[in-house]
Amino acid sequence: MINKRRFSMSKSRTVNRMSFWFVAYALLIIMMGTNIPAPLYSLYGQLWHFSTGVTSFLFIMYVLFLIPASFVFGQLSDRIGRKKVLLAGVIAAGAGSLMFSVSHNLAMLLASRAIQGVGVGIINGTAVATLSELRPASSKTASLVASVSIAIGTAIGPLYSGLLGEYSSSPIRLPYYLHLVLLGFAFLGLLAVPETRKIADAPQRLKLPSVPAVIRKPFTISVLASIIAWAVAVFFMTLVPTVIATQMNLHNLALSGAVVCLMLGFSTLSQILFKSLSASSAIYTGFALLTLGIVGVVIAIPTQSVFLLLLSTVLAGSGHGPAASGSMSWINEMSPSGSRADMMSIFYAVTYLGAGIPVLALGIGAEWIGFYQAISIYSGLIVVFAAAVALIVRGYHTRA
C-alpha cells in the first residue's frame, strides 16, 4: 500500500514536472510570434508606404486588444480552470500568425496584431499562475521561468524572422508558416497538462478588475517599475530596426533582427545571473543598466558607431532582465492564490499600456520634430522616470 502511494506521488511529480515545461514552452512560442514582425516593419513600410507613427500604432493595436483579453481570461481561468484558457491562447496565437501570413495591406497587418494581442492576453497571466501552481513550493522559480520564457521567445522571433526576411524568397510569409508548426507542438503539449485550479461549484460573474487594498500600494510601485523596463524594451523591439535603417543607413533585416535578439537575449541571461537578488535590488540594478543603454543609443546615432549601438543594446538588455523579472516576482509573491491569474493579467495589461503609449508618442513625435530629436527626448524622460521610481521603491522597502 505504501509502495503504491509512493509510486502515485512519484508519477504525479513527474507529470507536474513535464507539464511545467510544456506550459513554459507554450508561453515562449506565443511570445516568439509577437516579435516576428519586428525586423519586418521596415519592409512592410516600404511595401505599403507607412511611417514610424504607424509602426508604433501597430504595437498599440496589439495592446488595445491584449488588455481586455487579459482582464477577461485572467478571471475566467480562476473560475473555469487553467487548461481551457491556455489552449484558447494557443489557438488565438495561431489565428494571428495565419492572418499575418496572408496579409497584403496595412489593414490586415492591424487585424493580425489585434489577434496576436488577444492571444497574449489570454495566456500571459494564466501561464504564470499555472507555472506557480505546478511548482507551489517555489513561486520565485516559477516567476523566473515565466520571465525567461517570455524573454527567450521575444528574442528568437526577430532573429529568425530577420534572417528569413533578408535571405529567403518568401520574407513576409515563411516566418509565420514555421511559427504555426511550433504552435501545433505547443497545443499538443498542453493537452497533457493536468488542471491545476480547483473550479468552484457555481460559476461566478466576471467583475471589473481590481487589486486588493492591502497590496494596492506595492502593486502600483511594481507596475511602475515594470513599465520603465518594458518602455525601453518596446523601443528596441519596434523602432530600433527603423533607427538602424534610417539613421545609420544599414539596410539589412538580419542585422535589425539580430539587434533586437541581442537586447532580449541579454535580458534572458541577466535574469539568470541576477536571480538571487531581491526584487528591489533587481529593480535598482536593472534601472542603472537600462539608463546607460538608452543614453548610449542617443550617442551612437550621431557618431554612426555600430559598436556603441551594440554595446548600448547589451546594456539595455542586461538591465531589462532584472527590472522586469524583479517586478514580476514581487507581484507573484504578493498576489492572493485565489486570484493570482487575475493579478498577473492586470499587471501585464497595465505594463503594456504604460509602455506602449510613450512609444506611440515617440513614433508620432518623430514625424513632427525629427526621429533623432524625438529619441533624445524619450531617452531623457526614461532616465528621469527610472530615477524617480527607484527612489519610490527604496522608500517603500525602507519603511517596510
**Domains along the sequence of the chain with CATH:** 13-193+213-399 (1.20.1250.20)
Per-residue model confidence as pLDDT tens digits over 344-373: 778 877 888 898 888 889 888 888 898 899
Let me know: does 68 contact 345? Beta carbons within 8 Å.
no
Average pLDDT over residues 242-247: 83
Average pLDDT over residues 193-214: 70
Position 137 scores a pLDDT of 61
Per-residue model confidence as pLDDT tens digits over 128-162: 888 888 876 665 678 778 878 887 888 899 898 99
Backbone phi, psi, residue 173, to 5°: -120, -50
**Alpha-carbon gap, residue 191 to 327, rounded angstroms:** 31
**Alpha-carbon gap, residue 110 to 61, rounded angstroms:** 7
Average pLDDT over residues 243-264: 86
Question: Which pairs with CB-CB distance under 8 Å and at least 24 residues apart come from 71-74?
Answer: 71/209, 71/345, 71/346, 71/349, 72/206, 73/121, 73/122, 73/123, 73/125, 73/126, 73/345, 74/125, 74/126, 74/209, 74/341, 74/342, 74/343, 74/344, 74/345, 74/346
Is the sign of the CA dihedral 34, 36, 37, 42 positive or negative?
positive
**Alpha-carbon gap, residue 332 to 321, rounded angstroms:** 16
**Alpha-carbon gap, residue 103 to 86, rounded angstroms:** 26
What the block records as the C-alpha cell of 395 is 522608500
Whether pLDDT at 118 is above 60: yes
Per-residue model confidence as pLDDT tens digits over 45-90: 888 888 777 888 888 898 889 888 887 887 788 788 889 999 999 9
What is the DSSP secondary-structure string of 325-350?
HHHHHHHHHHS-GGGHHHHHHHHHHH
Given pLDDT bands bounded at 50, 70 and 90, which one contains residue 379? very high
Position 173 scores a pLDDT of 94
Place of cell 492571444: 119
- The lowest-confidence range among 29-33, 164-168, 375-379 is 164-168
- Exposure letters 2-18 (e unless 16+ CB within 10 A, then b): eeeeeeeeeeeeeebee
Element holding 198 (H helix, E strand): none
Position 388 scores a pLDDT of 95
Position 277 scores a pLDDT of 87
Given pLDDT bands bounded at 50, 70 and 90, which one contains residue 212? confident
CB contact set of 254 (below 8 Å; sequence gap of 6+): 39, 162, 163, 165, 166, 167
Question: What percent of the chain is modeled with pLDDT above 90?
Answer: 39
Let me know: does 171 contact 164? Beta carbons within 8 Å.
yes
Let me know: does 327 contact 227? Beta carbons within 8 Å.
no
Position 155 scores a pLDDT of 85
Whether pLDDT at 227 is above 90: yes
**By C-alpha distance, which of 170, 180, 186 is closest to 95?**
180
Given pLDDT bands bounded at 50, 70 and 90, which one contains residue 195? confident
Alpha helices in the chain (DSSP H): 2-35, 41-48, 52-80, 82-101, 106-134, 139-167, 174-191, 216-238, 240-242, 253-273, 279-303, 306-334, 340-369, 371-399
**Alpha-carbon gap, residue 398 to 392, rounded angstroms:** 10
Per-residue model confidence as pLDDT tens digits over 2-38: 554 554 445 456 667 889 999 999 999 999 999 899 8
**Alpha-carbon gap, residue 70 to 225, rounded angstroms:** 20
Average pLDDT over residues 214-232: 91
Per-residue model confidence as pLDDT tens digits over 275-317: 888 888 999 999 999 999 999 999 999 999 999 999 999 999 9
The mean pLDDT value of the chain amounts to: 86
**Alpha-carbon gap, residue 350 to 23, rounded angstroms:** 23
Position 218 scores a pLDDT of 87
- Exposure letters 114-126 (e unless 16+ CB within 10 A, then b): bbbbbbbbbbbbb
Position 201 scores a pLDDT of 45
**Alpha-carbon gap, residue 192 to 389, rounded angstroms:** 42
Position 289 scores a pLDDT of 96
Angle at 303 between CA 302 and CA 308, to 5 degrees: 115
